[in-house]
Amino acid sequence: MRTLIKEAINKIGEDITVCGWIKTHRSHGKLVFIDLRDISGTLQVVFLPSLDEKTQEIAKQIRPEWVVEITGTINKRPGGTENKNISSGNIEMAAKDIKVISPAKTLPFDINTDGYEINEELRLKYRYLDLRRGRLKRNLIIRQNFIHFVRDFLRDRGFIEIDTPSLTKSTPEGARDFLVPSRLQPETFYALPQSPQQYKQLLMVAGLERYFQIAKCFRDEDPRADRQAEFSQIDIEASFMEKDEILKMIETMIIEAVKIIFPEKKIKEIPFPKITHKEVMEKYNSDKPDLRDDKNNPNELAFAFVVDFPMFEIQKKDKTWKAVHHPFTRPQTEDIGKMKENPGNILAHQYDLVLNGYEIGGGSLRSFKPEILEAVFEVLGHTKQEIKEKFGHLLEAFGYGVPPHGGIALGLDRILAVLLNEPNIREVMPFPKTGDSKDLMMDSPSAVDKAQLEELHLQISKKTSKGKPKK
């Protein structure tokens, strides 16, 4: 039976079997040392000259990153040879037998460094090797611990974790949708969700009152350095909670998470300051200011809530109005005439959570009165027919008794990147894409078979050198 390396410390004097990857290999004549790595730690293994010839020969042939199984006796290390840098540094294994499970080619880069010095595209192409790096393994373990904490925190407060669909309806919510063609309903499309926005509001109509989800979101945006086409957010929605109640709950959750998972960090100000959008723009010329006293101190955390955003903003390109957050945000007025006459003066029940110069979360109270929601869509330029086609299902639901509700979505990847002092969110994601949304490891996006396109009733239109479409 295999024993994890972290458990070997309790097996002194016993024979055990360990499995893993060879981290280092050192040969001193007939004496061979290796460091063996598994998910739980690293163990020094020594092959003594007294071993049989076959075992000695294998010990000399093995190389870094080979996968092996070794049986041997766990002993205390001789005095003065301990390694205080690893948890198993006071013990070693005297090998009795070794089995090569899988040899490995020479890796395309060194995985024993932090990896920042290596070309990122090369790292992403061989991400499964890059993830053997200690820093990235630690990041993913902390990611799990953070998610586990959030789940327990919200469940303790009566929230229900509910999965929402990944195939949904394309609606104008801000970013560009990823479309999925339907084979069974030709010439129609699903969309991957930009967020679970409408579903979580429908869950409030359903009377579930307190929902959360570690949600996958998809946005087909133009290349941006610290954005991903696919990302994760901590999605929260609640009925009958006012803005200050939501913000207080999120503040408590973040403070407790930092205290437990990042005890070396110091939060600058508790409670988190609340700053209006108008104030923050006038003072910092940014809606996500870095409020740290010492911006070179990576352990200082300066949280703040930015509140009272404008409801609408004018688009420079075509001079039309768009929602600053999203169209489901509740405006700070129920005077529909005033909202339509002067959209630029209307504030929203919107709030953002910022940390050290990054927006790490955003939310709002939601419109729950159908007439208010319809008026917002009209300001955004939608006709009544378009509103019915795109959002009729939501307006219909709101006719059956809907509670006042609101929520927030916290960017899981971005929070972790800041707390782990990483330069970008790709360092805290298991399989990220490049800035232009390519997966270099899987070589996607990629072309598909003509037969697949025909099943979906699709044709690829290619442009000729003259710029005319060619079918």
pLDDT digits (tens, 9 = 90+) for 80-116: 889 988 889 999 999 999 999 999 999 999 999 999 9
Q: What is the pTM of this model?
A: 0.93
Q: Is residue 435 part of a domain?
A: no
Q: Are residues 97 and 135 in the same domain?
A: no
156 and 262 within one domain: yes
Q: In this structure, what token pair is assigned to residue 396? A: 């219909």
pLDDT class of 171 with cuts at 50, 70, 90: confident
Checking if the pLDDT of 338 tops 70, the result is yes
Provide the mean pLDDT of the chain: 94
pLDDT of 421: 97
Residue 376 above 60 pLDDT? yes
* 13 belongs to a structural domain: yes
Does residue 154 sit in the same domain as residue 82? no
Residue 396 has a pLDDT of 95
Q: Does residue 281 belong to any structural domain of this protein?
A: yes
How does 135-171 read in b/e, with b if 16+ C-beta sit within 10 Å?
A: ebeebeebbeebeeebeebbeeeebeebebeeebebb
Alpha carbon distances (Å) from 96 to 5, 324, 351, 449: 17, 67, 63, 53
* Residues 357, 416 within the same domain: yes
C-alpha to C-alpha distances, 35 to 39, 45, 134, nearest whole angstrom: 13, 6, 14
User: Could you read off the pLDDT of 15-24 as tens digits, one per residue?
Assistant: 999 999 999 9
- Tens-place pLDDT, residues 219-271: 998 877 778 999 999 999 999 999 999 999 999 999 999 999 999 999 999 99
Q: Please tell me whether residues 296 and 383 are part of one structural domain.
A: yes
CA dist 220 and 413 (Å) reads: 17
- State residue 20 phi and psi, 5-degree precision: 165, -160
Length of the chain: 471
> Does one domain contain both 90 and 150?
no
The predicted structure's pLDDT at residue 471: 46
pLDDT in tens, 342-372: 999 999 999 999 999 999 999 999 999 999 9
pLDDT in tens, 391-445: 999 999 999 999 999 999 999 999 999 999 999 999 999 999 998 999 999 999 9
Both 44 and 185 in a single domain? Answer: no
Stretch 123-132: mean pLDDT: 98
Task: Tell me what the mean pLDDT of segment 192-200 comes to.
Answer: 95
Cis peptide before 186 (omega within 30 of 0): no
Which of 53, 81, 102 terminates a domain? The answer is 102
pLDDT value, residue 465: 46
pLDDT bracket for residue 174 (50, 70, 90): low
Strand, helix or coil for residue 92: strand
What does the pLDDT read at residue 461?
A: 86
Domain finish residue from 428, 445, 466: 428
Same domain, yes or no, for 64 and 141? no
pLDDT of residue 85: 87
Q: What is the distance between the alpha carbons of residues 215 and 200, in angstroms, rounded to a whole number?
A: 11
pLDDT single digits (tens) 151-162: 999 999 999 999
Express as a percent the part of the chain with pLDDT over 70: 98
pLDDT at 466 > cutoff 70: no
- The mean pLDDT of 169-193, rounded to a whole number, is 90
* Cis bond upstream, residue 271 (ω within 30): yes
Taking the chain, what is the end-to-end CA distance rounded to the nearest angstrom?
A: 61
Q: Domain containing 83 — which CATH number?
A: 2.40.50.140
394 and 340, same structural domain?
Answer: yes
> Which residues form the domain of 59?
5-102
pLDDT-wise least confident of 27-41, 78-92, 174-188, 457-471: 457-471
Say if residue 172's pLDDT is above 80: no
Does 471 reside within a domain? no
State the pLDDT confidence band at 173, using cuts at 50, 70 and 90.
Answer: low
Best CA proximity match to 175, nearest among 309, 393, 323: 323
Tokens at residue 401, please? Answer: 């008794």
Q: Are residues 141 and 181 in the same domain?
A: yes
312: in domain: yes
Assign residue 300 the CATH number of its domain.
Answer: 3.30.930.10
In this structure, is residue 114 part of a structural domain? no
Give, for 59, the enclosing helix (H) or strand (E): helix 53-61
Predicted local distance difference test score (pLDDT) of residue 20: 98
Within a domain: 204: yes
pLDDT at position 295: 92
Q: How many domains does the chain have?
A: 2
Looking at the structure, tell me whether residues 312 and 174 fall in a common domain. Answer: yes
Give a yes or no: residue 450 inside a domain: no
198 and 82 assigned to the same domain: no
pLDDT for position 468: 52
**pLDDT number for residue 160:** 98
